[in-house]
A and B are shown apart, each in its own frame.
Chain A
């Protein structure tokens, strides 16, 4: 069990180092000089010009040798310094991310966990039941093929714009002040419904299909046949099949995280929701590279941590990893 976790931990550490290196290397080795682009852009903002230019030179350290730049980058990272935003100079990028993060997490966590749970239940019910199967399967494929933003757009158009049931944009009513009151909380919840619903629905189909296929596979396996031959009730056999089919779905959850985060980013853009996606969009529109890079690192760390949690859950759920029988199966 320790070997299993240690191996995983090693991969995540390696991934983190690779990701940070990519983050460091891209501005330095891409065609075109980002500093030139930035300086020419801030020439339009004369008051901030001097402060910004000196900041860029200090931030990129182009006068130092490459290895020194690389070490500096890591040093800054461990001190929690992701640079300063250009569009909102001199706000540190970490502050901007800290402000946006609760919104993104508030969308992501419930939608990922709920869609995973509901999708698995639907898939398990559909397996080997002709009538349900015929409706769940095509509908599931349709949902997985839908681009995240398009379902968001459709929901916003039908439920928001045409019917007027839900607000079209923003994280809360713009006439309210952000404070701890019931009214503000209610507004938050009201604005949260549509983006959450679209994230939830897109992910649902994939889980249902995966679970259905796994259950069918498990029901055809030897232990299921043996139980059936012994005359065990259908319910019992299905229960065992469900438990075994859960395992790949847990691993699948870890693999899907990256895609879901991407989906959350674009969904936020559709609804002008003030999370990381909206931050990235304004970063792109303003060529605010530090913001984009900061969000990138944050997503990497978040996904790696989530992977680690999934691994620990996997060890708890699958006894085989504990005794070291099939440690590398996942």
Chain B
């Protein structure tokens, strides 16, 4: 999504193939605004930690300072640099979002493709599995799992989020696959004796690639939100800082009563902006890929 934003074609006139998509992509304000906000925070996550002059978790600053030239986002009640925590937390959020999103997308795609293409008993079993995971309040499951893990890393957190957030994606992909399977080109591939694997990833998947991209974007945003919630409840990574943990520390240490807004406003604002930009980008992409929705 960022690559489309950076590789700008000079002349937005051509009308065929990929260029047509790019042409509409750049005229879509939703997509452009969403991509800009997302890229801004992504750059902050990549380069921010290099700019930070203090370590995120060391207590080497005067406590409780409002934002100033020395401490851009102020300091916490214990004398930690909020800006440094913020940019490191931003990095954690993107890592969890990407890993969790990829895990969920891979499971959702595998389940959805095979259930939709194979049908019959495979479909019945996979559908049952999807329904069960869909009904279980996954947040409660994550709660119990995380509580029993005494050492938690970003990777494990992302993996567990991915393992519980795939069902709706699987369902949507199954429905799409189901409708594509009855098309002629899939029948031709079958007659040619191509393997199931090749048909799914060579014939079916490319024909719903835009749909898959949009599914991934939503899973990415969902993983960031879930991770923030888990972190806030005190079950986040034990070895690093995250945006949810920052909010947890600030609320637990009376930042609200003391009015230390610089401690709890930036992390929440960042999560809202990132996830919001993803949602808006998704709507924009939908309009770009789906000619019916294009506002000309």
Q: Which chain B residue shows the least CB distance to A152?
A: B251
Bound CA–CA A169/B138 (angstroms): 28
Chain B residues lying within 8 Å of A255, measured Cβ to Cβ, are: 134, 168
Contact A261 B137 (CB under 8 A): yes
Bound CA–CA A103/B276 (angstroms): 31
Q: Does B7 have its Cβ within 8 Å of any Cβ on chain A?
A: no
Contact B139 A262 (CB under 8 A): yes
Q: Which chain A residue shows the least CB distance to B149?
A: A30
Q: Does B71 have its Cβ within 8 Å of any Cβ on chain A?
A: no
Chain B residues lying within 8 Å of A154, measured Cβ to Cβ, are: 265, 268
Chain B residues lying within 8 Å of A257, measured Cβ to Cβ, are: 137
Q: Does B17 have its Cβ within 8 Å of any Cβ on chain A?
A: no
The number of residues on chain B lying at the interface, defined by a beta carbon within 8 Å of a beta carbon of chain A, is 50
Instruction: Report how many A-B pairs have Cβ atoms within 8 Å.
Output: 158
The number of residues on chain A lying at the interface, defined by a beta carbon within 8 Å of a beta carbon of chain B, is 61
Q: Secondary structure of the B side of the interface?
A: helix
Chain A residues lying within 8 Å of B141, measured Cβ to Cβ, are: 19, 22, 296
A192 to chain B, nearest CB (A): 18
Q: Does B43 have its Cβ within 8 Å of any Cβ on chain A?
A: no
Q: Could you name 12 residue pairs across A and B whose Cβ atoms are closer than 8 Å?
A: A15-B135, A15-B136, A32-B148, A145-B221, A145-B278, A157-B256, A168-B256, A261-B140, A265-B139, A287-B147, A296-B141, A303-B135
Partner of B268 from the list A34, A147, A168, A280 (CB cut-off 8 Å) is A147
Q: Does A89 have its Cβ within 8 Å of any Cβ on chain B?
A: no
Q: Does A58 have its Cβ within 8 Å of any Cβ on chain B?
A: no
Chain A residues lying within 8 Å of B257, measured Cβ to Cβ, are: 161, 168
Contact A149 B232 (CB under 8 A): yes
Q: Does B144 have its Cβ within 8 Å of any Cβ on chain A?
A: yes
Chain A residues lying within 8 Å of B139, measured Cβ to Cβ, are: 258-259, 261-262, 265
A9 to chain B, nearest CB (A): 12
Contact A265 B233 (CB under 8 A): yes
A145-B279, A266-B229 known; A157+B261 contact, CB < 8 A: yes
A266-B233, A269-B232 known; A153+B251 contact, CB < 8 A: yes
Chain A residues lying within 8 Å of B232, measured Cβ to Cβ, are: 147, 149, 266, 269
Contact B233 A281 (CB under 8 A): yes
Bound CA–CA A56/B245 (angstroms): 31
A150-B272, A153-B264, A257-B137 known; A289+B147 contact, CB < 8 A: yes
Contact B256 A153 (CB under 8 A): yes
Chain A residues lying within 8 Å of B131, measured Cβ to Cβ, are: 11, 15
Bound CA–CA A156/B244 (angstroms): 17
Within 8 A of B (CB), among A272-291: 277, 280-281, 283-285, 287, 289
A18-B136, A144-B279, A284-B234 known; A263+B229 contact, CB < 8 A: yes
Contact B147 A300 (CB under 8 A): no
**Besides A145-B274, A266-B233, 14 other CB < 8 A contacts?**
A18-B136, A22-B141, A26-B144, A149-B228, A161-B256, A258-B138, A258-B139, A263-B229, A265-B233, A266-B229, A269-B251, A281-B233, A289-B148, A300-B136
B172 to chain A, nearest CB (A): 12
Partner of B150 from the list A12, A37, A138, A283 (CB cut-off 8 Å) is A37
